[in-house]
Amino acid sequence: MVLACFTYVSAQTTRDAKHMVPTGKGWGVESATAPGNQAPRSVTQGNGINYHSGPVMKGTVNAYFIWYGNWTNGPRSSDSQVTVGLLDALFGSSGGIGGSGYEKINSTYGDNAGNVSGNIALAASTTDNYSHGTRLNDSGVQAVVSSAISSGRLPKDTNGLYFVLTSSDVRETSGFCSQYCGWHTRGTIGGADIKYSFVGNPDRCPSACEAETSSPNGDSGADGMASIMAHEAEETASDPDLNAWYDSSGAENADKCAWKFGPTTGSIGSGAYNETFGSHHWLVQMNWENARGGGCDQTLGGTFYNF
């Protein structure tokens, strides 16, 4: 966690903040061109994050899981069907994160045609048995998504978010464990604008990507992935094409609350949690609410914890 946090802070503070755009990896980069005039808008602004004319994802966002690597009897104990079941439950259509007060924080973000609903649900999943080996680069992640769609294993869905979830023996070579724990972006796949995300199993690097190794569901990999997946889902819904919602340093909504958990039941490090969805407790980072001046919140309209 310390490594990920310090990398994030450094990325925010070493670049000119006037022309920063998000990368989807938790830091901003300088835009190749000066910002142009924003389109006319009827969105709420002035809460520590700004709208930059791009679309948001409306209605129910369909989540698709691509389990990459060995998730049956994997190289570490958390790479198992227990992990699969937990994350399926987290994004399940009944009692999951979708439609919760937590996810409804995203409903404070909109474009000129409407707002994010705060609804997200697992629509389908598939497996990929190391089609690109144990070292994936960014283009390899897109290729995994493209293959799942082109083969018909998953549908082509422009209102979907495709998670590439890797077992702990897989390395994402552009900076997993050293610069980020997950990321999101978009690509043109089959002629469509497809949103996708990489999330690695944090058991590969618990000191960088897990808030606690003694976790609420007894599965440090799944519990660590849950917060990272929530982070990427929040950002994808509010900034799917990296041109909608971010602040002057290029930080998207979840970036502004990265590794901030607010009040917890129990102490972090000993199975603490701050959210309950369905029959499970979770430790999930807060999200930035675009209302009431802006702040990190655990539920829509709740108490801000900016620290």
Q: Is residue 130 part of a domain?
A: yes
Neighbours of 155 (CB within 10 A): 12
Q: Is residue 46 part of a domain?
A: no
Q: Which residue has the higher pLDDT, 109 or 28?
A: 109
**What integer is the mean pLDDT of 193-209?**
97
Is residue 25 predicted with pLDDT exceeding 90?
A: no
Is residue 154 predicted with pLDDT exceeding 60?
A: yes
Domain count of the chain?
Answer: 1
Q: Is residue 95 part of a domain?
A: yes
Neighbours of 263 (CB within 10 A): 9
Rounded to the nearest 5 degrees, what angle is found at the Cα of 254, between the Cα atoms of 25 and 248? 75
Q: Beta-strand (E) ranges in 28-159? A: 28-30, 50-51, 60-68, 110-111, 114-115, 119-128, 135-136
Q: Is residue 64 part of a domain?
A: yes
pLDDT in tens, 235-272: 999 999 999 999 999 999 999 999 999 999 999 999 99
Q: Is residue 307 part of a domain?
A: no
List C-alpha distances in Å: 123 to 111, 117, 205, 272: 25, 17, 29, 29
Q: What is the distance between the alpha carbons of residues 149 and 86, in angstroms, rounded to a whole number?
A: 24
**What integer is the mean pLDDT of 18-26?**
76
CB 112 within 8 A of CB 39: yes
The amino acid occupying position 72 is T
Secondary structure (DSSP) of 6-38: HHHHHHHHSS-GGGEEE-SSSSEEE-SS---PP
What is the per-residue pLDDT for 19? Answer: 63
CB 164 within 8 A of CB 195: no
pTM for the predicted model, two decimal places:
0.90
Q: Is residue 39 part of a domain?
A: no
**Left if phi > 0, otherwise alpha if psi is -120 to 50, otherwise beta: which for 85?**
alpha
Q: Is residue 241 part of a domain?
A: yes
Q: Which two tokens stand for residue 65?
A: 């899981």
What is the per-residue pLDDT for 31? Answer: 64
Q: How far is CA 5 from the centre of its chain?
A: 16
Q: Is residue 264 part of a domain?
A: yes
**Residue range of the domain that includes 111:** 2-32+55-297
Longest dimension (CA), the chain: 53
The amino acid occupying position 7 is T
CB 283 within 8 A of CB 272: yes
Query: How deeply is 82 buried, as exposed, middle or buried, from its count of CB atoms within 10 A (0-12, 13-18, 19+)?
Result: middle
pLDDT in tens, 70-105: 999 888 888 999 999 999 999 998 899 999 999 999
